[in-house]
Amino acid sequence: MRYISTRGEAPELAFEDVLLAGLASDGGLYAPVSYPGLARGDIASLAGLPYAEASARIIAPFLGEAFDGAELRALTQCAYSSFRHSAIAPLTQIADNLFVLELFHGPTLAFKDVAMQLLGRMMDAVLARRDLRATIVGATSGDTGAAAIEAFAGLDRVDVFILYPHERVSDVQRRQMTTVEAANIHTIALRGSFDDAQSILKSLFRDARFRESVGLAGVNSINWARVVAQTAYYFTSAVALGAPHREVSFAVPTGNFGDVLAGYVAERMGLPVGKLVIGTNSNDILARTLASGRYELRGVTPTQSPSMDIQISSNFERLLFDVYGRDAAQIRGLMGALDQSKGFTVAPAPLEAIRAEFEASAAYEADTTEEIARTYRETGYILDPHAATGVHAARKRLAIDPATPIVSLATAHPAKFPDAVERAIGKRPPLPEHLAHILDARERFTVLDNDAGKVAAFISERARAARATV
């Protein structure tokens, strides 16, 4: 399996190199040359398998020579042994044909662990094989950072720098990142939004000298390995509900578009998917784009679902690449317009292709609070505010098509957002025991201006110092 950049001006790579490269050198995102197919029989045979085994079967066709079957099974088994639920990603029914897929049983209580626990082990294996060190830089709106820190803390071959928007993540999210004592972890509170952090991250990747000098690697969903690992739970949940013999729809709380893109990849691989429903919060750029065809930045609004406070949904570029017939020149044009004039218009045919598979719906602040309250009132189930945007969107889809089951992705544990939950249902979900200590542990972070040069200088200096002590 080979990978090409959505912007067509970076070298074609194998999986192992894509894993370390993160963003392509031309600023694009790597995508497989073609999507491997899973036959109906292979999909049906996933039923009843342990999650680690099912995910190894789904991920394997993307890896080429990088890991053989036995190595991959060992990696998935080890990755998912850190989860606190034996099913890894269990389904719970909350209404007729409405199911919640709990993706928050990993160590940091968010769906990011599902991919990150595997990615961390894959990267470590490849770095060891090549006798390399890497500097991982990640941008987070709260959850990716904690998951990356958990996956890489204490590893000898990596230094991890996480940029999060200063004062715009929940207390629990911040403490999960800032209370980790490992010397290879560096948390940066950026005076800006997640979009600012991600744009600095991308500029670092485009700076060939910086990239080389620190051995830059990325763990955001711009890294294809993240998307592939997330594809697995679309298969396992759909199969549990009767796929491939029936269609299943999905509602996905969306920010950077990595999670819902994984659902799209599952569909490309042969999973019969009804609709992929994008749930947004007030940062509703994707809902506006699907409605009007105009992708237009309007600045980030802070909400009670802060991990989705994103306007530049990076992985949307991978979808555009496909619906524009993989014409990299067109993608360069769209992304150039986004840089220069903060928007672009999706042409009619690609827009129709998107609408054929996706729909989008925004939950504004009152909708989110009402959805948490309603679900609790009707079922006793507590949604976190991100999952609530998904369920809100899922109910709209069910109103149109009540016959197709819909799986709504619960991307975070409610205890990560106790204020939002308390506002809706009058009680605060307690933090699971294994995280209780973060509430009064010492915090360690550096506040930096929203300035790529200052961030690059900080990272270079710390990475150099870390290498000098090895």
Ligand X SMILES: N[C@@H](CCOP(=O)(O)O)C(=O)O
Distance CA 304, CA 384 (A): 10
Phi, psi of 162 (to 5 degrees): -115, 125
- Tell me the closest approach of the beta carbon of residue 112 to ligand X, in angstroms: 6
Q: Site mask, ligand X, residues 294-333, x = CB under 6 A? A: -------------x--------------------------
Catalytic residue among 112, 202, 275, 416: 112
Are the CB atoms for 1 and 63 separated by under 8 Å? yes
- Tell me the closest approach of the beta carbon of residue 390 to ligand X, in angstroms: 13
The entry of ligand X, ligand PLP, none near residue 106 (CB within 5 to 8 angstroms by kind) is: none
The smaller minimum CB distance to ligand PLP, of residues 216 and 308, is found at: 308
- Tokens representing 75? 């990696």
Q: What stretches of 26-174 adopt beta strand conformation (E)? A: 30-32, 91-95, 98-102, 134-139, 158-165
Task: Mark the segment that binds ligand X (CB under 6 A) among 202-210, 254-262, 276-284, 460-468.
Answer: 254-262
| Residue found under tokens 């999670």 | 259
Task: Report the SS3 class of residue 390.
Answer: helix
The entry of ligand X, ligand PLP, none near residue 386 (CB within 5 to 8 angstroms by kind) is: ligand PLP
- Tell me the closest approach of the beta carbon of residue 221 to ligand PLP, in angstroms: 6
The smaller minimum CB distance to ligand PLP, of residues 244 and 314, is found at: 314
Task: Mark the segment that binds ligand X (CB under 6 A) among 140-148, 209-217, 335-343, 439-447.
Answer: 140-148
The smaller minimum CB distance to ligand X, of residues 256 and 304, is found at: 256
Indicate the helix (H) or strand (E) that contains 407.
strand 406-410
Are the CB atoms for 73 and 52 separated by under 8 Å? yes
The smaller minimum CB distance to ligand X, of residues 32 and 306, is found at: 306
| CA angle, residues 415, 421, 423, in degrees to nearest 5 | 145
Give how far Cα 414 sits from Cα of 143, 214, 223, 339, 431, Å. 13, 37, 27, 36, 9
The entry of ligand X, ligand PLP, none near residue 412 (CB within 5 to 8 angstroms by kind) is: ligand PLP
142 binds ligand X (CB under 6 A): yes
State the DSSP string of 6-37. TTS-S--EEHHHHHHH-S-TTS--EEESSPPP
- Tokens representing 459? 């990272």
With left for phi above 0 and alpha for psi between -120 and 50, is residue 77 left, alpha or beta? alpha
Residues that bind ligand PLP (CB under 6 A): 110, 141, 143, 221, 253-259, 307-308, 386, 411-412
Distance CA 97, CA 397 (A): 11
The smaller minimum CB distance to ligand PLP, of residues 247 and 259, is found at: 259
- Tell me the closest approach of the beta carbon of residue 468 to ligand X, in angstroms: 30
- Tell me the closest approach of the beta carbon of residue 446 to ligand PLP, in angstroms: 23
The entry of ligand X, ligand PLP, none near residue 253 (CB within 5 to 8 angstroms by kind) is: ligand PLP
The smaller minimum CB distance to ligand PLP, of residues 5 and 411, is found at: 411
Are the CB atoms for 363 and 389 separated by under 8 Å? yes
Q: What stretches of 315-366 adopt beta strand conformation (E)? A: 343-345, 358-362
The entry of ligand PLP, ligand X, none near residue 170 (CB within 5 to 8 angstroms by kind) is: none
275 among known catalytic residues = no
Count interface residues toward ligand X (CB under 6 A): 12
The smaller minimum CB distance to ligand PLP, of residues 110 and 189, is found at: 110
Applying CB under 6 A, among 220, 280, 283, 408 the residue interacting with ligand X is: 220
Count the helix, strand and coil residues of the chain and give each as a percent rounded to the nearest 5.
50, 15, 35
- Tell me the closest approach of the beta carbon of residue 11 to ligand PLP, in angstroms: 26
Give how far Cα 206 sits from Cα of 202, 243, 257, 326, Å. 6, 42, 21, 22
* Contact footprint for ligand X (CB under 6 A): 140-145, 220-221, 255-256, 258, 307
Residues carrying an active site annotation: 112
